[in-house]
Amino acid sequence: MVDLRDAFETAADHVLWLLGQAEVAVAWDRPSALAEWSVGGLAAHLANQVPTAVRLLSAPPGPDPIPGPIPLEEHYARAAWVTASLDDEVNSGIRATGDEQAAAGLPALLAGVGEARAALPGLLADVPADRPVLIPWQGWSLVRDDFLTTRMMEVVVHGEDLAASTGISAPPLTTDVLDPVLRLLTRLAVRRHGQAAVVAALTRSERAPRTISAF
């Protein structure tokens, strides 16, 4: 298993770079490329991935017995938002939280991400790879690197969303960030659409399905 501590620090730097672009501030109150999201709300949701990681990694492992850890794919099989519609309570709640955080303004978001980024090296060094990390709003835990993969997936996907919403040409992510995220998304796509559909989409344009979206 590849240690993802350095990769997550790189992902956090990517968030800081994106939020620091002038295009984000200019477009703050405009609709984003995602339905029902403003640019500010989307940026806040992206920004929140780094402080959330610090908060959960810093927390005690959880009650005894600790709930989990469960496999990474099972995390997405259980998570309500994965199969919820745009207007379901779980997704409207996520958007509302993003809007609330966006109301604090971009400088406050940048400061929060910067503070969390500074804490990462020491914190990640102190959390063993096999330690369960409790995700309290879900009620279960993941081992450290599976948890970091969930946050990096959010950074990769919503980073692209923010770039598409503002016209930013974001620098390519490093393979240590992108590889575990693509591996996760591919596995989820196979689980959702089947092996044949994913293989055809990647290799046979003449019989490729309309979508192999992981979510």
Number of separate domains in the chain: 1
Instruction: Please check whether residue 69 lies inside any domain of the structure.
Output: yes
Q: Is the pLDDT of residue 1 over 90?
A: no
Q: Which two tokens stand for residue 42?
A: 């989307």
Say which range, 14-18, 56-60, 101-105, has the weakest mean pLDDT. Answer: 56-60
Instruction: Please check whether residue 108 lies inside any domain of the structure.
Output: yes
Q: Which two tokens stand for residue 46?
A: 């992206």
Domain that holds residue 89: 5-171
Q: Which two tokens stand for residue 178?
A: 């992108």
Distances (CA, A) of 160 to 15, 47, 182, 184, 205: 11, 13, 14, 17, 24
Instruction: Please check whether residue 56 lies inside any domain of the structure.
Output: yes
pLDDT, tens digit (0-9, with 9 covering 90-100), for 42-85: 999 999 999 999 999 999 766 666 667 999 999 999 999 999 89
Q: Is the pLDDT of residue 96 over 70?
A: yes
pLDDT, tens digit (0-9, with 9 covering 90-100), for 112-152: 999 999 999 999 999 999 899 999 999 999 999 999 999 99
Q: Is the pLDDT of residue 200 over 90?
A: yes
Instruction: Please check whether residue 157 lies inside any domain of the structure.
Output: yes
Instruction: Please check whether residue 178 lies inside any domain of the structure.
Output: no
Confidence band, pLDDT 50/70/90 cuts, at residue 190: very high
CATH number, domain with residue 94: 1.20.120.450
* Confidence (pTM): 0.94
Instruction: Please check whether residue 63 lies inside any domain of the structure.
Output: yes
Query: What's residue 3's pLDDT?
Result: 85
Instruction: Please check whether residue 62 lies inside any domain of the structure.
Output: yes
At 35, the amino acid letter reads A
Q: Looking at residues 30-44, what average pLDDT do you find? A: 97
Query: What's residue 198's pLDDT?
Result: 97
Q: Looking at residues 15-33, what average pLDDT do you find? A: 97
Instruction: Please check whether residue 197 lies inside any domain of the structure.
Output: no
